[in-house]
A and B are shown apart, each in its own frame.
Chain A
């Protein structure tokens, strides 16, 4: 690569162990290069995407590694360098946006410009609010405007500081595709002149294709594939891994028997007594495969369900509930642990709580074979 590209490149090697009270210690171990333009960081929830952004922004300290941008070392564990977040000049738009609720749009946008003279501050805020088409809302507070407008103001607030890197953590979640595309177009127009590296985190496969110039797929804290969005999503040799990155449940399984006439086969999950039916694949009884299931594709019942077309009903117990925005992540022990996504409304209506016995329903064709 030429020197020109290197000049505006973010490079990060990060190793961080997360020891939680639970059994599973999570290890983040990645090396990524982000050139100027939009790079998508793609993976299921819990793959470590937000942790990477937190490390780059300086909100979390990696155990080991080195983070460099523009030739400046932001973090180097070996050399004991750790520039604090407020000195890194890295913009970060959070999933929750984190707009200051007591400040107006204009005050939010000028928050990062405290060191500038009043006149220049006003000019820069005016310009950025116009670029993101929210200059009419300058006197409004975040509670008084729509979701899309809030997202635009959050972008304006971050970019007005002239950052060297922009980190976006699913900032456009919940917007319809048109609005999303319009905001991304404005972001691209802004970056045409600046050419800074933009790292855009998402768990949506659609966004990878639509938004990114490059993509990095993450699974369980590791990079499983990187390249153009098309390569990462579709290249035959990489398809398996990249696909797995979009799934919250990736389970080792042993093939028990093939029912070719029905187009299915029975597999046993891990070492558990759990048997499920999955689509027929190139496998023989006894061979080891991986089954991937999206957390949102799993139905959950609090009584044993009857009269269903779905073939797989597993009995289990809720291990934990974790609310993330408008989604609740359940961990359910059925011999193997499943991640299930439900809405907060479902949690209330079904009175879901830790330890509660539940039944998981998996359609055969929601079970994807990976290996």
Chain B
């Protein structure tokens, strides 16, 4: 159960961080008229196509005591980043980035531009327009982003293995735990954990699809 709790904690942290940094990135990608925008869009989508081991490998190198991130971390906190919970969070944020940013972009782009024009002529600056108009109307996208990045982090394996190793209570997440149990032929234990993960994933995806059917948006046109 320690592994499950650790996974939940990791996924929660990652989802919160991704919402905070995903929103400005998605806002910029949705509304910028810069011609080179596609380059950033490609970078954001990279984790979708890269094997987790590749991403994990680069993250590990960057976080190692000789990597730029590792050096910075040691200078700031006195210990390394690799094989710690913090390192795991950072790598997972990178790995789940598109799962948060893409639903946000889609929902921001879905907001009628005329509403933004109306907000501007009524005297609202872009920050106020974002909080009062774009964000409330993008709520299903925000929930989708949060839930998908949570679920995706919960189920990741390769990146965790590369960056986190397998330290009980620190980096041994539930997917690694299951792998361990199978390796030591403890099928009963593995099956119990797998079932819990299956149930959580199903519940989480149900939330996404329910929200996207707008069951919770009372103002939707009838």
Contact = CB atoms under 8 A, between A and B. Distances in A.
A88 B137 CA distance: 26
A112 B217 CA distance: 24
A98 interface: yes
B220 A98 contact: no
Given A86-B123, A114-B123, A92 B222 contact: no
Interface string A333-357: 0000000000000000000000000
Nearest to A167: B121
Contacts of B118: 92, 94, 98-100
Nearest to B113: A98
B133 interface: yes
Contacts, number: 70
Contacts of A28: none
A155 to B, nearest CB: 13
Interface string A71-97: 000000000000011111111101010
Contacts of B112: 96, 98
Contacts of A98: 112, 114-115, 117-118
Contact of A86 (B120, B133, B217, B221): B120
Interface of A, secondary structure class, is: loop
Contacts of B122: 86, 111-112, 157-158, 161
Interface stretch (B2-10, B41-49, B63-71, B124-132): B124-132
A141 interface: yes
Contacts of A96: 112, 114
A143 interface: yes
A86 B121 contact: yes
Q: Which of B119, B121, B136 has the most CB of A within 10 A?
A: B121
Contacts of B117: 57, 59, 85, 92, 94, 98
Nearest to A96: B114
B97 to A, nearest CB: 28
27 contacts: A57-B117, A57-B121, A59-B117, A59-B120, A59-B121, A85-B117, A85-B121, A86-B120, A86-B125, A89-B123, A92-B117, A92-B118, A94-B118, A96-B114, A98-B112, A98-B117, A100-B115, A100-B118, A101-B220, A102-B217, A102-B219, A111-B124, A114-B123, A143-B220, A143-B221, A143-B222, A157-B122
Interface of A: 57-59, 84-92, 94, 96, 98-102, 111-112, 114-115, 141, 143, 157-158, 161
Given A86-B124, A101-B137, A102-B219, 18 more contacts: A57-B117, A57-B121, A59-B117, A85-B120, A86-B122, A88-B121, A89-B123, A92-B117, A94-B114, A94-B118, A96-B112, A98-B117, A100-B118, A100-B119, A100-B133, A101-B219, A112-B124, A143-B221
